[in-house]
Amino acid sequence: MRSVERLGNGVVLVVDRFESPLAAVVVAAGVGSLYEEGGKRGVTHLLEHMLFRVPGFDVDEAVEQLGGGNNAYTQRDSLMVTFEGISESAAGLVELAYRLYTNERYAEEDLERERAAVLSELRQTREDPSERVGELALRALFGDSDWGAPVGGYPETVEALTLPDLLEHKRRWLTAGNTMVVLSGGVGGEAVEAARRLFSKLEGEAPARGVPTAGAGPVRVVEERDVDGVYYASALRIAVESQAEAYALLHGAAFHLEAGTKSILFNVVRNPGVAYSYYVDFDVAGDVAFLLVAVESARGLEEARRAVASALKPREPPPYRLRYFDYLWRVSWRSPLNRAMTLAEYHIKGGDVRRIEEVFRKAAERGTAWLEGAVLGEAEAAVVPEKYL
């Protein structure tokens, strides 16, 4: 049973009850890297880290005492704080989530610790050729714009952020009118009432959003470095009529491209021996969307390029693939945390969470055939061994 309720102050509360020994609590704000000022790239990601720093209070110990775990994620248009634990602790997890979300007491020494952690993450991304090639492909597609910038920001902008910057960003965006709370799994009435009581205290309207920039990039970016294989990525800009519909279609396309041993990429990359692994990325916000396919440590650049081009040709899915989609969906849907995060993401994209199962399956039925006529532009990137070209 799933219900959607808007509290008097504007907070959206979704209760997704089903039989489970676990319960999940996800609090999501509609803000991410797309809505950051250019000079403050990475402020959302650094704030995400700081949410778990409450002076004089050990958040991780509190979560473990409740019998659960916690995490957080920054995306292009959302920030999520997540908790999952034993069902009888659901109300306690709600209280803990509210405490972290509303806390405004931060210490400078904690900021420096989390800044160092974020900078380490950024270095890892740049040093990992798999992640790097995806980042470069989006820059090749969107250029020096909001869409072309990395979600975590740049080292120089993260270095310059201050506590006042974080608090200003938090007060502007983590408001009642811009917050969603999802309770999923073995959630009792006490947890639901705790969510209503606590999150109804939040104040503030949804902030006015600017339109994220999506410039034209150089179309092709190649980086030479100390790697053995070729890392290649192709990024497509996709036309958007409905943000929620585009998100579902991209989800369905990603399933057919990469999930399982009968996926498109397994057939054109793995089976012929072009490369062992690959991944798919996608996103949509407003009227901008992209679909990205990357091949990791391929044996040759031209071979990887041909394989990805073949994979991205519009295709109707074979009927049996939909049974496999049902299987993977049900496996994922057994997890309260997976459900809560998926529901939060879909709501932020403008979708009706009460119809999510129906919408996503219909999208899977369309495979990648809908890409015909939907591609507005394309770009590519490669990370290759030194002196390869």
- For residues 207-235, one letter each, b for 16 or more C-beta atoms within 10 angstroms of the residue's C-beta and e for the rest, the string is beeeebbbeebeeebbeeeebebbbbbbb
**Cβ proximity of 297 and 228 under 8 Å:** yes
pTM of the entire predicted model: 0.96
Q: Are residues 177 and 274 in the same domain?
A: no
User: What CA dihedral angle connects 221, 379, 384 and 280, to 10 degrees?
Assistant: 130
Clarify whether residues 59 and 130 are in a common domain: yes
Rounded Cα distance between 99 and 149, Å, is: 31
Report the SS3 class of residue 165.
Answer: helix
The answer on 122 and 227 residing in a single domain is no
Tell me if 275 sits within 8 A of 229, measured CB to CB: yes
Identify whether 212 is part of a domain. Answer: no
Residues 6+ apart with CB under 8 A from 49: 72, 114, 117, 118
Helices (H), 143-272: 155-160, 163-173, 189-199, 243-258, 264-265
* Nearby residues of 254 by Cβ (< 8 Å), 6 or more positions away: 280, 282, 291
- Residue 387's region, left for phi above 0, alpha for psi from -120 to 50, else beta, is left
Residue 289's pLDDT is what? 98
Domain that holds residue 371: 220-385
Would you state the structure tokens that stand for residue 8, as one six-digit string? 């008097």
Using DSSP, state whether 371 is helix, strand or coil: helix
> What percentage of the chain reaches a pLDDT higher than 70?
100
**What confidence category does residue 26 fall into, taking pLDDT thresholds of 50, 70 and 90?**
very high
Task: Provide the token pair at 289.
Answer: 């969307």
Asked whether residue 192 is domain-assigned, the answer is yes
127 and 274 fall within a common domain: no
Q: Any idea of the CA torsion for 366, 372, 373, 376, to the nearest 10 degrees?
A: 100
Same domain, 110 and 41: yes
CATH number at residue 265: 3.30.830.10
Number of structural domains the chain divides into? 2
Task: Read off the pLDDT of residues 30-86 as tens digits, 9 standing for 90 and up.
Answer: 999 999 988 999 999 999 999 999 999 999 999 999 999 999 999 999 999 999 999
- Within-domain flag for 210: no
Beta strands in the chain (DSSP E): 2-6, 12-17, 22-29, 68-74, 79-86, 179-185, 220-225, 230-238, 277-285, 288-298, 375-385
26-31: average pLDDT: 97
The chain-wide mean pLDDT, for the chain, equals 97
Domain end position, chosen among 200, 233, 248: 200
pLDDT digits (tens, 9 = 90+) for 232-283: 999 999 999 999 999 999 999 999 999 999 999 999 999 999 999 999 999 9
Contact at 8 Å (CB) between 249 and 375? Answer: no
Q: β-pairing, 2-6 with 12-17?
A: antiparallel
Kindly state whether residue 111 falls inside one of the protein's structural domains.
yes
Average pLDDT over residues 20-30: 98
Residue 214 lies in a domain: no
One domain, residues 370 and 313: yes
